Amino acid sequence: MITIGEAIPSHACMYANAHALARYAALCQEAGIVPIVEPEVLMDGDHTIERCAEVTDAVLEAVFAQLFAHRVYLEGMVLKPNMVIAGKKAANRAGPQQVADATLRCLRRHVPSAVPGIAFLSGGQSEAEATAHLSLMNQAPDLPWALTFSYGRALQESALKAWAGKAESLGAGQKAFLHRARLNGLAQRGKYTASLEAA
């Protein structure tokens, strides 16, 4: 995980993370396992979307340089990155289309088309934000990779809240989880709209 701050991340930090990810990926493939390469730039802090783009550019450049150096078979891996988004404490949060555009611009610059799939982290986004951003990206033409989700909080938060650990609320939790999964499934096809949240 990479944190954005006034003087961080350093080049040494990005290199060390990239080297570790590539070594892990190479070992996975040597053992016949598909590696999930997860170079996450955190959205903690007050950085702008432009600063996130700058850091994510540098991180992905370092990661793919190391993947090439370690002879990782790109067709046999999954990339699990962050979206390019302003920090949680940023004074001006970027809108959904700006996030989608900035993320795709970054990916197109650094992720070879040989990579078959990109499974996004939600990274602290709300459920609706993460779903909307994914859907907008999947509406873009001529994407060389499949874009999907590998969300934690943005898939489970409403389900956990509805369930609240109570046996009598198990059905409500399952219903909330199914609803969220369906919305993310629609986003994967670029067919999500905010109006579906209340459906």
Cis? peptide before 39, omega within 30° of 0: no
92 with 86: CB under 8 angstroms?
yes
Cα dist from 12 to 17, 19, 57, 104, whole Å: 9, 10, 15, 26
Q: State the number of CA atoms in the 13 A half-sphere of 92 facing the CB.
A: 5
Question: With the C-alpha atoms ordered 62, 53, 127, 149, is the resulting torsion angle positive or negative?
Answer: negative
Tokens representing 79? Answer: 């990339």
Q: State the number of CA atoms in the 13 A half-sphere of 150 facing the CB.
A: 17
Q: Name the nearest CA neighbour of 17 among 75, 83, 53, 64.
A: 64
List active site positions.
Answer: 38, 80
Question: With the C-alpha atoms ordered 93, 89, 5, 63, is the resulting torsion angle positive or negative?
Answer: negative
